[in-house]
Chains A and B, each alone.
Chain A
Amino acid sequence: MNKRRLKLVLLLSTFCLLLISGVIQAKTKVTFWIDRDEISEFTEPTLFELVDEYNKKHKNIFIDLKNVMSSGSGATGTGSASSYNTKVMAALATNIGPDIWWNYDADMAPPIAAGYVDPAPSYVTENMKKNGIYEWVLQAMSMNTGKVYGVPHDVMWGAMLYNKKFFREAGLDPEEGPKTWDDFINYAIKLSKWDKNGKLIRAGYSVRFTGGLVGTADKWAHFLMCAGGQLLDESGEKAAFNSKAGIEALQLYVDLVHKYKVDALDFPRDIQAFAQGYIAMIAPREAFMIPWIREYARDLDLGVCYMPAKTRHASSGAVRMISVNQNSKVKEEAWAFLDWLNQPKQAKRMYVNNKQLPAYAPLAESPIYDGIEFKAWTTHPNVIARAESVKLGEIYPIIGRAVQSAVYQKQGVKEALDDAAAQVNKILSK
């Protein structure tokens, strides 16, 4: 090959390479982070499918969906939410954050407060409203700021799960869960079992007061709301959980353990223990427990009812949302994708096909939710957003600590709640 020809070949190769790289670069890349250890194992594959579909439909856009928690830290049993959250915060602070990311509403609060989250454009909010999004879901994603800071990925609220087999054994109607707190206490006593030494061998109801403080506060919030209370006042600037309702709700917790002895401080208290038959009633906040139970505890005869009422049936709701980075250079593309993701067709695939609680009321009409186990969730009255403040992340652990402190009898009920309220008010006043 002579020199001229060699030069020509080199020139053409360079041109072709530049052309190819130019074509690749012409695609707008939108980075999207999720935490595989925390996201529902049922919705995650659907999310990847939908992203693939969107990428195929939009030749000039590439949604780069990445699980950034491949360490499997969830396997430690401590959950990976905090590690994921720290990773996202550090990335946002150093301006290498994703364009869009998934997280719990409580964990979205600090970046919202610091101005790192882009408020949803009006067309996205309008479309969500048009598609029938639950009002409380919008409230949860706005955190009392008047703006909506994302779209829902999945939503969670509480209901009472119970083991029908134990109901039959105790002479209770397995089709009717406890309706009031009096029913609830009576049922819990009847369902509990003790050995000859008086040691609890089956909990009538599993009071959640150990483990993560946020989880502890979350589950107690159901009872607070059922007693007519709320975490913060209407303005979202003052603690309201140390009210009469709060005292009644926490006293109920203390009584269940120490007076009625339907649970014990050293008794197992997770959904696995419920699935294994150590617990007769439990109130989680995640409806994805139902497919989980169906998958891993197939023999369990599951009943679901509303949270028992003191003054009303109510439940604390949380949203795991997807938000857009305020500093992203592709905000428009990011919101267009999220808007598409929340259109009825895609939302149906995400929620209904995976038997997840829907964020949109019309989807709750789907026959898939007709079974008793879902009906109690989808028709649950008074689902109230827990995210009433951008300082939720700091507030919840304080409430959780107050609950633990009272149940372990380190403090009286009123004292624990008043102490926690003083700390919360200090944070809110900053």
Chain B
Amino acid sequence: MKAKTKKNLISYLMLSPVLVFFIIFVYYPIIMSAIGSFFDWTILGKFEFIGFNNYKELFQSSLFRKSLSNTLYYVIFSVSISTVLAFFLAFLLNRIPKFNSFFRTTYFVPVVTSLVAISIVWKWIFEPRVGILNYFLSLFNIPSKAWLLNEKLAMPSVILMSIWKNTGFYMIIFLTGLKGISRDYYEAAEIDGASTWQQIRFITLPLLTPITFFVLTMNMLRAWQVFPEIFVMTQGGPVDATRVVVFDIWEYAFQYLRLGYGSAASYVLFIIILVITFIQNKAMKVKEYEGV
């Protein structure tokens, strides 16, 4: 056996346990749920081919449409606010030399904490009677609110929590990008009399374009799949005000045991995410700048 072939063989052998793991736990379920979405499939044995009926039922379901619009609402506000905030914090941290690591750690701590644990903590923060948020507002004579029980406030409350949880992660990515921008550009701009805003607009933002697209893509992927915080904090309520697509999938697949319907909903979500990511990638290629 040639040395190169032997080396390749060893590499394949070393890779095979992970490959087997991926085949069993990732690719098989993906393929199986694609097939299952065309079947009347319950966890307890029923498996009858029904063509596109699950998809038809899905698009006729007002509940699914409500879940989609709620998810879109969550995505728009959660992604936009956390991305802008992350950039802003990264920009400030990049400029402030003192206590830099302290602030970086402080903002990053929520990222490494369990989402379920954090959701329970925030549920208590939002508690109408003994919650710390209402107590804080009462110091300014602002009347208390039932954050998670009011249909208009429930989703913004969940969004607020997720911004707090995720901003630190995107801030670190922006910070890495900012560190990669040469000081020379800013010095040259300062000599030319550019203001801070002009430096951000004409130097920082263009050079950070690939990073911004990366952050947006990652943030969108996360946001479309929002679930644990909804499950723990609101269970999709009140009156479905926080019902999101993954909650819909979970409820149909694991509460009502309709795996076929749940699979169809999963594939609709998958296609939405795929299309958005594709568009973002295309847009990024068009707008890509060199120099970072």
Chain A residues within 8 Å of B, Cβ to Cβ: 75-78, 82, 85-86, 89-90, 92-93, 110-111, 114, 116, 197, 199, 210-212, 265-268, 273, 276, 278, 393-394, 397, 401, 404-405, 408, 410
Contact = CB atoms under 8 A, between A and B. Distances in A.
Interface of B: 42-46, 116, 119-120, 123, 128-129, 143, 145-146, 149-151, 231-232, 235, 237-240, 251, 254-257
Contact of A76 (B149, B150, B232, B257): B232
* The 5 A-B residue pairs with the shortest CB-CB distance in the complex, in nearest-first order: A266-B146, A114-B44, A408-B239, A86-B254, A266-B149
A278 B129 contact: yes
A345 to B, nearest CB: 36
A59 to B, nearest CB: 36
A276 B231 CA distance: 26
6 contacts: A76-B116, A86-B254, A93-B45, A110-B42, A211-B237, A265-B238
A143 to B, nearest CB: 15
A280 to B, nearest CB: 16
Given A93-B45, A408-B239, A210 B149 contact: yes
Most buried by A among B119, B120, B237: B237
Given A210-B149, A266-B146, A90 B43 contact: yes
A110 B44 CA distance: 8
B147 to A, nearest CB: 9
A114 B149 CA distance: 37
A273 to B, nearest CB: 8
A230 B239 CA distance: 24
Given A76-B232, A116-B44, A266 B145 contact: yes
Contact of B128 (A266, A393, A404): A266
Contacts of A401: 240
A197 B120 CA distance: 31
Contacts of B44: 89, 92-93, 110-111, 114, 116
Contacts of B238: 210, 265, 404, 408
Main secondary structure of the interface of B (DSSP, over half): loop
A82 B255 contact: yes
Nearest to A110: B257
Contacts of B150: 265-266
B142 to A, nearest CB: 13
Contacts of A114: 42, 44-46
A383 to B, nearest CB: 27
A393 B116 CA distance: 26
B122 to A, nearest CB: 12
A268 B128 contact: yes
B283 to A, nearest CB: 38
B151 A408 contact: yes
Contacts of A273: 129
B146 A267 contact: yes
A189 to B, nearest CB: 22
B244 to A, nearest CB: 15
A125 B29 CA distance: 43
A211 B235 contact: yes
Contact of B257 (A89, A268, A397, A404): A89
A78 B240 contact: no
B231 A394 contact: no
Contact of B43 (A93, A265, A266): A93
A358 B81 CA distance: 55
A212 B231 CA distance: 11
Nearest to B255: A82
Contacts of B257: 89, 110
A112 B103 CA distance: 57
Most buried by B among A86, A111, A273: A86
A199 B143 contact: yes
Contacts of A210: 149, 237-238
B117 to A, nearest CB: 9
A47 B151 CA distance: 42
A85 B257 CA distance: 10
A278 B46 CA distance: 48
Given A266-B145, A266-B150, A77 B129 contact: no
Contact of B256 (A111, A197, A266, A393): A393
B215 to A, nearest CB: 30
B43 A89 contact: yes
Contacts of A408: 151, 238-239
B42 to A, nearest CB: 7
B30 to A, nearest CB: 18
B19 to A, nearest CB: 24
B235 A78 contact: yes
Nearest to A267: B146
B120 to A, nearest CB: 6
A393 B149 CA distance: 25
Nearest to A430: B40
A79 to B, nearest CB: 9
Nearest to B45: A114
B16 to A, nearest CB: 26
Contacts of A89: 43-44, 257
Contacts of B255: 82, 85, 393, 397
B43 A268 contact: no
B123 A405 contact: no
A82 B254 contact: yes
A408 B238 CA distance: 9
Contacts of A276: 129
Contacts of A266: 128, 145-146, 149-150
A93 B259 CA distance: 13
B141 to A, nearest CB: 12
Given A110-B44, A266-B128, A404 B237 contact: yes
A147 B116 CA distance: 42
Contacts of B254: 82, 86
B134 to A, nearest CB: 11
A252 B234 CA distance: 25
Nearest to B146: A266
A267 B148 CA distance: 11
B87 to A, nearest CB: 33
B123 to A, nearest CB: 7
Nearest to B254: A86
A268 B256 CA distance: 28
Nearest to A410: B239
A77 B149 CA distance: 15
B165 to A, nearest CB: 16
A278 B146 CA distance: 14
Nearest to B120: A76
